[in-house]
Amino acid sequence: MSSDLSGEELRVEVDEAEIISSETENPVDSFVQEEKDEFSQLISERDSYLDDLQRVTAEFSNFRKQSAKRNAEIGSRSQAELIEKLLPVLDACDLAIEHGANDVAPIREALITAFEPSGLQVLNPLDSIFDPTCHEAVLHEASEENQDSNEQIVIEVLRRGYIWSDHVLRPAMVKVRG
């Protein structure tokens, strides 16, 4: 372009340049670019939905696990409550056997045998080391032989203790020496 062109001639040349440049732009390239933009938008939307789905799936899985754990705990607690209500019956059986009513022994054994598979354990601490988490010492006898030892040994069980699923339902009432 030369500088001696008038305004109208300059405008005509600029318009021709725009026409030439618009003719040189390939409509296929602009279509491809639009499709790429739309495709990348769809991919980001898909990824967003996938992230949401994965998060919701993980939350639901955690909820299901927590619900199952809670239900198991409630079931175990209700079984423990039933066993606690039966402890006086077992105590009565023990007392009856101590007083010579041996006909009660099979009933006691049947009750223990029925509940052992579910998690009942009878504490038999005789001649073992005193454990305050499982035993309740109500009588104490001084040890004559080994005064230096701080170990207390269970020498008599006054009332049996019971454990249900690794939880002490009732500690054993014992007499200790030491």
Residue 139 within a domain: yes
**63 pLDDT above the threshold of 60:** yes
Task: Please give the biggest Cα pair distance in the chain.
Answer: 136
User: Dihedral sign, CA of 98, 101, 107, 113?
Assistant: positive
Q: How many domains does the chain have?
A: 2
Residue-wise pLDDT tens digits, 112-140: 999 988 888 998 888 888 888 889 989 88
Residue 30 within a domain: yes
Residue 100 within a domain: no
**175 contacts: CB under 8 Å, gap ≥ 6:** 137, 138, 139, 140, 141, 154, 155, 156, 157, 158
Tokens of 123: 């504490």
143 against 39, higher pLDDT = 39
Residue 20 within a domain: yes
CATH number of the domain that 130 lies in? 2.30.22.10
Structural domain of 156: 121-178
- Given a contact cutoff of 8 angstroms between Cβ atoms, the answer to whether 138 and 173 are in contact is yes
Least confident of 13-22, 35-44, 47-56: 13-22
- pLDDT confidence of residue 27: 77
* pTM for this prediction: 0.60
